[in-house]
Amino acid sequence: MQRIYLDNAATTKVSNEVLTEMLETYSETFGNPNSQHSFGREAGALVDLARDRVANTINAERGEIYFTSGGTESNNWAIIGLALANRAKGNHIITSSIEHHSVLEACKRLEKLGFEITYLPVDKTGLVDIARLLHCINQRTILVSIMAANNEVGTIQNLKAISKIVHEKGVLFHTDAVQAMGNFRIDVKDLEVDALSMSAHKIHGPKGIGALYVKKGVKIDNLIVGGEQERGKRGGTLNVPGIVGFGKACEIMQQNYIVDCKKLKYLRDYFVSQIENEIPHITVQGHAHQRLPGIASVSFNFVDGEALLCLLDMAGIAASKGAACQAGTTEPSHVLLAMNIPIEEVQSTLRFSFGINNTKEEIDIVVKELKKDVEKLRSISPLKPSRKRD
């Protein structure tokens, strides 16, 4: 059976070029980059090159990039590390209600330590209200963390406007750019962010590796203590093959993102127009144009999303109900709820996230299958108002 992968927001396939560099590293450059001998130096040179490649993609300096185990660790570290390092200045942190769980749970941890967190609401397109943000900043506010683009609905925040307001108030600004990377140019100098989270596996790199950008001069406490790795800020022997793969993925992304994004947008828009033609009673969630090119979050009214996901899976089609880390739970999406989408609509929503390997032919197959499955589920749905009861 042909299988079709439309869950690229959960993870992407490692590209061949990335894999080649990683395999070479595994087999030939196995030294510990912190060792003093030639084996160590060779590995260290690969790490330096990768660090430059990562720094380059966001217009940062090599010394501002710290490798981590991925987006989750970067978010945990940014929130907890910046909060603890700035505790003397205040205990108030502002974030949004649609952040990734790695930000929200880090904030919850801080609440237990005596910090106060404000969770900003969003409008029905998923945009943070900037006037509200301004209103919430007070004397004790030390950090604002707002994601660059949302991983469930794809809404892109007005990051520059947000960072401007935050900095005018003398507050630090962190952004989770894990899902945004590769979708538009992210320039830390232009955006004026103090910290920014990245992850390799969302951009055709390996899983389990990411980075935190920390602007030069910004103080951050360690999250992981141990050796002197990463200039004493993150203990643990470096994952050299992962770092090499991440660097390569960044380099490829930087070269190709404009063409790739055009393709993703073409596929996504084609998909949306096809289902809008073929399937009645659907709603596309998120912002109409301020949205990642590869994401379509679609509510199929009167359909149980879980059941639809199952039927698609049986047909070899992979989509998602929301963030991958929530899949398998029956918890409704906190993102859609924060956007004030009614709960029945939330339960009927699936996320389709397109990748550079997808084709128009695949979309045609998916649309056909969706039409069939949605009709089937609606015909047995007790929710459908038009159904005559006897």
Ligand X SMILES: *Cc1c(COP(=O)(O)O)cnc(C)c1O
**Active site members:** 325
Q: Select from 47-55, 80-88, 116-124, 196-204 the region that touches ligand X (CB under 6 A).
A: 196-204
3-class SS of residue 386: coil
Under the binding rule (CB under 6 A), the answer on residue 202 touching ligand X is: yes
Closest of 277, 384, 325 to residue 75, by C-alpha: 325
Helices (H), the chain: 16-28, 38-57, 71-85, 101-112, 130-136, 159-168, 188-191, 240-278, 305-314, 334-338, 343-347, 360-379
CA separation, residue 235 to residues 214, 231, 243, 303 (Å): 16, 9, 15, 48
Under rule CB under 6 A, which residues in 151-180 are in contact with ligand X? 151, 176, 178-179
Give 179 or 349: the residue with its C-beta nearer to ligand X. Answer: 179
Tokens of 125: 């397109």
Q: Segment near ligand X (CB under 6 A), from 156-164, 198-206, 238-246, 368-376?
A: 198-206
Rounded distance between C-alpha atoms, residue 311 and residue 149, angstroms: 29
Nearer to ligand X, 274 or 320 (CB): 320
Measured at CB, which residue is nearest to ligand X?
Answer: 71
CB of 380 to ligand X, least distance (A): 34
CA 290 to chain CA centroid, nearest Å: 16
Beta carbon of residue 161, minimum distance to ligand X (angstroms, whole number) = 20
Nearer to ligand X, 71 or 241 (CB): 71
Structure-token pair, residue 353 = 């996230």
Q: Is 198 helix (H, G, I), strand (E, B) or coil?
A: strand
Q: Output the smallest distance, CB 175 to ligand X, in A.
A: 10
Q: How far is the C-alpha of 54 from the C-alpha of 247, rounded, in Å? A: 5
- CB closer to ligand X, 4 vs 292: 292
Interface with ligand X, residue 71, by CB under 6 A: yes
Q: How far is the CB of 300 from ligand X (least distance, A)?
A: 23
Q: Which two tokens stand for residue 226?
A: 């141990």
Ranges of beta strands (E only) in 109-243 are 116-120, 141-145, 172-176, 195-199, 210-214
Cα–Cα distance measured from residue 103 to residue 81, given in angstroms and rounded to the nearest whole number: 12
Residues 6 or more apart whose Cβ sits within 8 Å of residue 127: 155, 157, 158, 287, 290
CB 206 to ligand X: min, Å: 10
Which of residues 92 and 100 has its CB atom nearest to ligand X in the complex? 100
Identify the residue among 199, 320, 333, 348 touching ligand X (CB under 6 A). Answer: 199
If one asks whether residue 70 binds ligand X (CB under 6 A), the answer comes out as yes
* Shortest Cβ 73–ligand X spacing (Å): 7
Alpha carbon separation from 120 to 35, 135, 149 (Å, rounded): 46, 11, 15
Residue 167 to residue 144: CA distance in whole angstroms: 10
Which residue lies nearer to ligand X by CB, 162 or 377?
162
Of the candidate residues 6, 58, 128, 147, the single one contacting ligand X (CB under 6 A): 147
Shortest spacing between CB 178 and ligand X, in angstroms: 4
Between residues 12 and 348, which has the closer beta carbon with respect to ligand X?
12
Complex with ligand X: residue 145 or 358, whichever CB lies closer: 145
Q: Which stretch binds ligand X (CB under 6 A): 68-76, 105-113, 242-250, 363-371?
A: 68-76
Full strand arrangement of the beta sheet holding 295-300: 282-285, 295-300, 349-353
Contacts with ligand X by CB under 6 A: the residue count is 15
Task: Report the nearest approach of ligand X to the CB of residue 70 (Å).
Answer: 3
x/- letters, 48..67, toward ligand X (CB under 6 A): --------------------
What is the Cα–Cα distance from 34 to 227, expressed in whole angstroms?
10
- Please give the residues from 346 up to 375 whose contact with ligand X meets the rule CB under 6 A: none
Binding test (CB under 6 A) with ligand X, winner from 8, 102, 155, 299 = 102
Residues that bind ligand X (CB under 6 A): 70-72, 75, 100, 102, 147, 151, 176, 178-179, 199, 201-202, 210
